[in-house]
C-alpha cells in the first residue's frame, strides 16, 4: 500500500510583504512515506528543521495554477517544463525545496533533491528521495492544503485573493466532464489552461470519438513530452500512415487473456509490475515455455504476418508504432523501428496494450512518453520477450555489459531491455537508465 502525503503549515508572524504573504507565512513541511522532504539544516540556529519558514500562500497558488499539469503531465524534456513541476521555480525570495512533481496518470512522484551547501545560505535541504504516491492521494493532499490556506486567509480578513479565483476555476473545471477532458489534453500536451491552439484541441476531441479517448490522450502525451513539442497526429494522418507504411492484421485472431493478470487498483501497482504480471500470465496461458519466442509465434499473438517484423513497409519516418482497427477496412499494424529487435519489442508492446487496455478502442499506440500505459507496455514486452527468471539465471551474477549483451542476443531484444529488467527488479540502480530513458518508474 502506498503511503500518503501531506503539506503542513504552522502559522507564524511576518511584518512585511503582501496581505496574503503576511497572513500565510508559516513553517511549511512536506511529508511522504513518513519522510520529511523539507527537512534541512537551519544555519541561523544551527540545527535540523523539518519545516522551514516559507509562504504557504505562494505554494498553494503555485499548486492551484499548475494543478492540471501536475496531475496529468508526465516527466518531459520540453523547454519550460520545470516551471510547472519544480517548486524551486516558485521564487518570491524564499529558499524553496528542490522538489519536482510529475505523474504518469495513475501515480505521482515527489522527486526531492538535496541542495548544495553554499556560504551564507541560511537553509539547506538534505533529503534526496523519490517517494511515490497514488495520483488520487496527490489530489487529496493538494485539496486539503489549499483549503487550509483559504481558511487562513478568511480568518485573517484577506478576501478575493488570486488563489481563491484560480482554485474556484480548477474546481469548476474538474466538475465539468467536457471541460475536464479539454484541460487534461492541454496538460498532456504540456501547455497551461487555454494556452493551446483551440482548433487543435477540438480536432483531438473529435478524433477521440473515432479512435478512443485514452488513445488520443496517449498521442497528446507523446507530442507534449518531446524536447521540441510536436503536433498531435490526426485520425486521418494515422489512417494514411497505416496504409502506406503498415501491415495488414486480423485482431480478431489475436490472443486474449482468459483472466485479468491482477486485481490490484492501478494506482497501487507500479506500471512495470502490471505489465510483467500480464506477460507471465500470457506465457503460461499459451504454453510459450521459457525460451525466446520466434517471429512466427510472436506475430501470430497479434494476428499479423511475420513479415511485419522483418522490415518497414515504406520509407516514411514515423514517430510512433500503433495498431489500428478501422470500420469496413482491414486492421493495420505499423512499427516504427527499422531494426528487428526493435520491431519485435514494439509489436510486443502493442500486444500488451490490447491485453491491458480497452480492446474496444480503435487505436493502440506505442509512444516514447512515460505515461502509466506506456510504461506498462514496455514492461509487458520486456517480460514476454525476455522472462526475468531466465535472464537472472543466464546472467548468474555477472551483470557486466558483455553478459547483458549475450542475454539480449539470446532473446532477440536490445541490451536496454535487459538493463531495464534488472533496474525494475532492483538489481541495478535506476541511474543506469537515466541517460537513455528520461523517466523514473512511478
**Residue 293's pLDDT is what?**
97
**Residue 436's pLDDT is what?**
37
Lowest mean pLDDT among 21-30, 56-65, 317-326, 380-389: 317-326
**Residue 431's pLDDT is what?**
62
Lowest mean pLDDT among 82-86, 317-321, 384-388: 317-321
Q: 440 pLDDT band (50/70/90 cuts)?
A: very low
Q: Give the strands of the sheet with 331-334, arranged side by side.
A: 247-249, 331-334, 321-324, 363-366
Give the gyration radius of the chain's Cα atoms: 24
**Residue 121's pLDDT is what?**
84
- Predicted confidence (pLDDT) at residue 230 exceeds the cutoff of 90: no
- Predicted confidence (pLDDT) at residue 439 exceeds the cutoff of 80: no
**Residue 183's pLDDT is what?**
97
- Mean local confidence (pLDDT), 128-139: 95
- Mean local confidence (pLDDT), 281-307: 95
The beta-strand segments (E) located in 33-122 are: 35-36, 40-42, 47-49, 53-55, 98-103, 107-113
Q: 384 CB contacts (<8 Å, ≥6 apart)?
A: 279, 282, 283, 293, 348, 351, 352
**Residue 267's pLDDT is what?**
74
Full-prediction pTM beyond 0.85? yes
Cell of 143: 485539496
Which pLDDT tens digit goes with each residue over 174-227?
999 999 999 999 999 999 998 989 999 999 999 999 999 999 999 999 999 876
Cell of 138: 496527490
Q: 314 pLDDT band (50/70/90 cuts)?
A: low
- Mean local confidence (pLDDT), 409-418: 94
CA-wise closest residue to 270 among 435, 105, 99, 129: 105
Lowest mean pLDDT among 258-262, 338-342, 391-395: 258-262
User: What is the C-alpha to C-alpha distance for residues 274 and 269, in angstroms, rounded to an integer?
Assistant: 7
- Predicted confidence (pLDDT) at residue 55 exceeds the cutoff of 80: yes
**Residue 38's pLDDT is what?**
98
- Predicted confidence (pLDDT) at residue 119 exceeds the cutoff of 90: no
Cell of 150: 483559504
Q: Which residue has the higher pLDDT, 77 or 154?
A: 154
- Mean local confidence (pLDDT), 144-158: 97
**Residue 435's pLDDT is what?**
39
Alpha helices in 226-259 (DSSP H): 235-245
Share of the chain above pLDDT 70, in %: 95
- Predicted confidence (pLDDT) at residue 392 exceeds the cutoff of 70: yes
**Residue 79's pLDDT is what?**
87
| Average pLDDT for the chain | 92
Amino acid at each position: 500500500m502506498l503511503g500518503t502525503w501531506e503539506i503542513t503549515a504552522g502559522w507564524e508572524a511576518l511584518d512585511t510583504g503582501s496581505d496574503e504573504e503576511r497572513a500565510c507565512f508559516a513553517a511549511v513541511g512536506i511529508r511522504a512515506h513518513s519522510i520529511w522532504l523539507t527537512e534541512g539544516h537551519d544555519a541561523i540556529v544551527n540545527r535540523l528543521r523539518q519545516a522551514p519558514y516559507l509562504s504557504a500562500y505562494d505554494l498553494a497558488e503555485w499548486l492551484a495554477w499548475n494543478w492540471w499539469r501536475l496531475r496529468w503531465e508526465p516527466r518531459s524534456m520540453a523547454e519550460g517544463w520545470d516551471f510547472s513541476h519544480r517548486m524551486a521555480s516558485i521564487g518570491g525570495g524564499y529558499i524553496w525545496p528542490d522538489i519536482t512533481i510529475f505523474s504518469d496518470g495513475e501515480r505521482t512522484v515527489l522527486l526531492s533533491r538535496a541542495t548544495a551547501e553554499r556560504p551564507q545560505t541560511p537553509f539547506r535541504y538534505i533529503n534526496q528521495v523519490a517517494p511515490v504516491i497514488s495520483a488520487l492521494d496527490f489530489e487529496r493532499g493538494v485539496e486539503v492544503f489549499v483549503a487550509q490556506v483559504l481558511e487562513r486567509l478568511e480568518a485573517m480578513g484577506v478576501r478575493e485573493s488570486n488563489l481563491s479565483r484560480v482554485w474556484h476555476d480548477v474546481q469548476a473545471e474538474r466538475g465539468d466532464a467536457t471541460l475536464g477532458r479539454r484541460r487534461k489534453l492541454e496538460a498532456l500536451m504540456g501547455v497551461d489552461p487555454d494556452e493551446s491552439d483551440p482548433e487543435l484541441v477540438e480536432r483531438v476531441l473529435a478524433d477521440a470519438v473515432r479512435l478512443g479517448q485514452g488513445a488520443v490522450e496517449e498521442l497528446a502525451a507523446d507530442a507534449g513530452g518531446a524536447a521540441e513539442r510536436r503536433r498531435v497526429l490526426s485520425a486521418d494522418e494515422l489512417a494514411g500512415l497505416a496504409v502506406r507504411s503498415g501491415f495488414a492484421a486480423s485482431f480478431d485472431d489475436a490472443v486474449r487473456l482468459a483472466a485479468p493478470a491482477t486485481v490490484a487498483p492501478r494506482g497501487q501497482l507500479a506500471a512495470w509490475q502490471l505489465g510483467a504480471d500480464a506477460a507471465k500470465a500470457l506465457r503460461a496461458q499459451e504454453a510459450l515455455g521459457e525460451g525466446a519466442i520466434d517471429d512466427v509465434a510472436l506475430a501470430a499473438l497479434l494476428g499479423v504476418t511475420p513479415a511485419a517484423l522483418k522490415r518497414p513497409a515504406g520509407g516514411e519516418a514515423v514517430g510512433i508504432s500503433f495498431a489500428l482497427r478501422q470500420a469496413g477496412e482491414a486492421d493495420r499494424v505499423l512499427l516504427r523501428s527499422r531494426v528487428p529487435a526493435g520491431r519485435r519489442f514494439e509489436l510486443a508492446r502493442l500486444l500488451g496494450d490490447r491485453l491491458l487496455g480497452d480492446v474496444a478502442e480503435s487505436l493502440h499506440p506505442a509512444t516514447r512518453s512515460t505515461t502509466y500505459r506506456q510504461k506498462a507496455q514496455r514492461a509487458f514486452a520486456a517480460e514476454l520477450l525476455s522472462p526475468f527468471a531466465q535472464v537472472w539465471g543466464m546472467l548468474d551474477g555477472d551483470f557486466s555489459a558483455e553478459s547483458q549483451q549475450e542475454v539480449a542476443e539470446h532473446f532477440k531484444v536490445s541490451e536496454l531491455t535487459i538493463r531495464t529488467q534488472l533496474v525494475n527488479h532492483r538489481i541495478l540502480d535506476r541511474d543506469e537508465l537515466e541517460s537513455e530513458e528520461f523517466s523514473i518508474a512511478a
